[in-house]
Structures are given as structure tokens and as C-alpha cells.
Structure 1
Amino acid sequence: MTERMKEGVRLPSREDSLPKRFYKAVSVAETERGWTLQLDGRGIRTPMKNRLVAPTQTLAQLMAAEWDAQGKRIDPFTMPITRLAHGAIDSAATNRDAIIGEALKFAETDLLRHRGEDAELARRQADEWDSYLEWAEKTLGANLPAVTGIMPAETTPKAIAALQAKAKAYDAWQLTALGQATALTASALLGFALVERHATADEVFSASRVDETFQAEHWGEDAEAAARAERLRGECLAIGSMICAL
């Protein structure tokens, strides 16, 4: 038996499928279109072959930090702000109506509007969520009342029209943040709160986890659920960082 056979066959890992790092220096430069990320002095493109250009120097620097932190291989999973930029440039600019429509669907069955029948859980939900409903009515012009149980809450055309008008005023970067934050939290209101800087990313994520936190306190939380929550928190923080950098 050869030494190679004794050692066994090495199975390919996820890292093996990742592209190798092909650059040494990462920098940002100002152009006529905005701030571009450069690898060894050359600009790079998005998956759809568009130029990767940020509207602000701060945002470009955040992306540059992600690229500079890569090791021998490039792992997109560790580059959430760059992925958000790809979405803003490749998708949001041409799919505005679809992104807005999806966010409005969430508003009709918004997480913050549906309260549990358990008294303690309902109290926590009210403490955490009522202020967002009040803010939505006062600032966004959308009256979205809360209901108890799983039955859909009543949503008026006026409320949806108010949210739609607000979303239509967003640029591609803000719209990307709205779409991603809404899907991540199951709440259009939390998505708007983050884009409008009414709440921080940590506050938004914490508000989205009231039910899960309550259940974990009573029944425990397994390692897989905890890992998923941490991953989602990281994604939410990245969205918040992008908004603050615009």
C-alpha cells in the first residue's frame, strides 16, 4: 500500500472552488461617475459586467476593505457590502418596480403588525414594535394597525400608496437596502426604518427577533439556529453600514 493510499483521498472543499486572489494592492479612485474600487490600479466590474462604482468615497473604502481582507482565495460570502453593491448596480437600476412591489407585499403582512396570543409575548412585541407603527404613520403617512393572531391585518390603499411613494423616491442603493432589509427581517417597516435612519441596524435586527428570542428563552436555542441568527445579523449590519456610507 502506497503512502498516498494510506493517507486517503482528499475530498474537494468549498475553498477549493473559490477563485484565487489575483491582486496585491487595493485602492479607490475618484472618477466622473463616482468612486471606483481598483485592484492593482485597475477598475473591476460587477457580475453583469457593469463598472463597480460607488456614489461616495466612504462606501468605496468599505468595499476596498473587504477585498483587501481576502486571503489566498476570494470568498464572496465574506464581502456583504460588495454583494449589496452588485445588487444596486446590476439589479435595482432595472428592476425597481419588482423590488418595490415585493416590499409592499411584506407591508400587508408585516411582522410588526401581527401579535401573539401569549400575553407575555404580546407585551414584548408591543414594547418593541408599537413605536415603529407610530413612526410609520407620522413620518411615512402609512397607518398600519396591529392585529392579534394569524389573520391578515387590514391594509388600506392609502397606506400602501404612501409607502410606494416613499420607495419610488429612493435611488438604486437605497432601494437595494430596502429590499434586502425587508426580506431579512420580514418587515417592510423595519426596512424603511433602516433606510430612513430612524433606527440602527442593531436595533432593527433586534426588533425582528422578538419572537425567536422569546421562544429561545422558553425552549432553548440550538447551535444551528444561533449560527443562522449571527449570519443574518451580519447581513443586517452590512446593510446599515452601506446606508450610513451613502
Structure 2
Amino acid sequence: MSGWARKRFWKEAWAEQEGDSWLVKLDGRAVKTPAKAPLALPTPGLAEAVVAEWQAQEGELDPLSMPVTRSANAAIDKVAHQHGEVAEMIADYGGSDLLCYRATQPEALIARQAEAWDPLLDWAAETLKARLHPVSGVMFAPQDEAALKNLRQRVHDLTNFELAAFHDLVGLSGSLVLGFAAVHGHLPVADLWRLSRLDEDWQAEQWGADEEAEAQAKAKQEAFFHADRFFRMSRK
């Protein structure tokens, strides 16, 4: 079966191991990605999550209710064919990491950023062997090349499925360090998300919350949490 079926036609979904992968099957027919590749998953936990999404469908198929399947499709159809390019794009965040760009005023915000973000930069220096330095203002300031090279290699070392999730962790937070902190389990994922929203939360405190912005932030938060779960399910 390839692409998305419009209506449920199967009675049972299950996963079968073939070699080092698990294939999802609907009444014995192997599910394929939109690009017609086998939906082959690297871990039994990930396969179970995909099977649960297919088994939960009733009547019209709803792709929006199947985030694990969609992320798996992305890993197979997109990341697998351009792993190096995706890794380079994500690694580039290290040179302009959110945690490094600090406010020049007011003093209260400067202090809050330092208190919240400095410990993460210290953690990256110790655990990832990459010391990134904070700078004031929005003007680009180059980071240590050895540190960036170390981070870049760590990104390239991720598997296709891990990289698909890591792409979202970094892109949604704006921080390579926060992405690594998530996959290393350095802090609870909810805490990491709040740290990525420090500037936005500060603005909301000063000027009041915006309903549309809050709705967008909620959607991004859910996607961030999903990426964290997907990464963990993908790890062998």
C-alpha cells in the first residue's frame, strides 16, 4: 500500500520484523511511504506506535492524527536521501545559537537570560566538548571553530530517524544546544521548551499575551514534545 488511503479498508494492523527493521502491515499488506518505499522502522517501540496510529483510524483516514507515521515517512523519503545536507543545515544553528544572543537591555532581562542559559552553555562545554560564548546584541559574532566542528560531527552521526526528530527539536527551539540537551535527557523536555521561550515570555509579561501568538506557541510546543518522543522511540 502506498500513499494515504482515503478510507480504512483493513481490519488489523501489526508489525513484523524483517532483518533489522520492523515493517507495518495492514491485513498482511506492507505499508509504504508516499514515495513508495517500505515503511521500515528501526525499533519495535516505534513500530508499535505507528501500528497504534493505523489501528486507531476509523472511516476517513486523518493524517493529522498520525504524527509518528508522518515523521517516519519524512525520515525515509527525505532525510535518508539527503542526510548530509540536513545535518549541515541543522549544525549551522551552532554558529548563531539562541542561547548565545543576549539582550542589551533591560537589566532584568539580561539577568534572566544569564541565569537560565549560562548553565546550558556550561553543560555543552562539559558534555559535548563545545564551548559557545554569549554575545550582546543581534550582530553576528563567530564562535570557536573547534567547538562548531565538534557539534557538527555529532549531528552527522545521528541516524536518519534520529536526524528527522533532531531537525524539529533544533528548528523549533532555535538552539542546537537545546536540541542536544533534549536528546541527552539533560533536563525535562518541558523545561527545555520554556527555556527556548524565555524572550517571548518576557515580552508577554511586559505587554500582555496575544491570543494568536499563544495558539502558535502551543502548536510548536506540541511539535517539540512529539520530536522528543520520536527521537527516543527511534533509538536502538
TM-score of the two chains, using structure 1 as the length reference: 0.86
Fraction of identical pairs, as percent: 35
Corresponding position of 2:124: 136
Note closer, same or farther for the CA distance 1:59–1:220 as it changes in structure 2 (3 Å cut). same
After the TM superposition, list the runs of 4 or more consecutive aligned residues in structure 1 that deviate by more than 6 angstroms.
Answer: none
Aligned-pair Cα RMSD in Å:
1.8
* Contact persistence 2:87–2:155 (CA under 8 A): yes
* Contact persistence 1:45–1:51 (CA under 8 A): yes
Structure 1, unaligned runs of 5 or more: 1-17
Give secondary structure in 1 for the equivalent of 2:25.
Answer: strand
Alignment of 1:1-246 (within 5 A): 19-116=6-103, 117-245=105-233, 246=235
Computing the radius of gyration from Cα coordinates, the structure with the larger value is: 1
Amino acid at match of 1:206: R
Cα distance between partner residues in 2 of 1:232 and 1:71: 27
Cα distance between partner residues in 2 of 1:128 and 1:63: 36
Cα distance between partner residues in 2 of 1:46 and 1:169: 24
Residues 58-78 of structure 1, C-alpha deviations (whole Å, 9 max, x = no match): 111112222233332222222
Give secondary structure in 2 for the equivalent of 1:141.
Answer: coil
Give the Å deviation of 1:138: 1.1
Give secondary structure in 2 for the equivalent of 1:93.
Answer: helix
Give secondary structure in 1 for the equivalent of 2:32.
Answer: coil
Which is further off, 134-143 or 62-71? 62-71
Cα distance between partner residues in 2 of 1:182 and 1:164: 13
Higher RCO, Cα 8 Å, sep 6+: 2
* Contact persistence 2:166–2:231 (CA under 8 A): no
Cα distance between partner residues in 2 of 1:68 and 1:43: 14
Note closer, same or farther for the CA distance 1:220–1:65 as it changes in structure 2 (3 Å cut). farther
Cα distance between partner residues in 1 of 2:49 and 2:116: 31
Give secondary structure in 2 for the equivalent of 1:30.
Answer: strand
Cα distance between partner residues in 1 of 2:192 and 2:206: 23
Aligned residues: 229
Cα distance between partner residues in 2 of 1:202 and 1:168: 26
* Contact persistence 1:110–1:189 (CA under 8 A): yes
Cα distance between partner residues in 1 of 2:11 and 2:220: 30
Structure 2, unaligned runs of 5 or more: none
Give the Å deviation of 1:126: 2.0
Give secondary structure in 2 for the equivalent of 1:21.
Answer: coil
Corresponding position of 1:4: none
TM-score of the two chains, using structure 2 as the length reference: 0.89
Amino acid at match of 2:138: I
Give the Å deviation of 1:161: 0.7
Amino acid at match of 2:7: K
Give secondary structure in 1 for the equivalent of 2:33.
Answer: coil
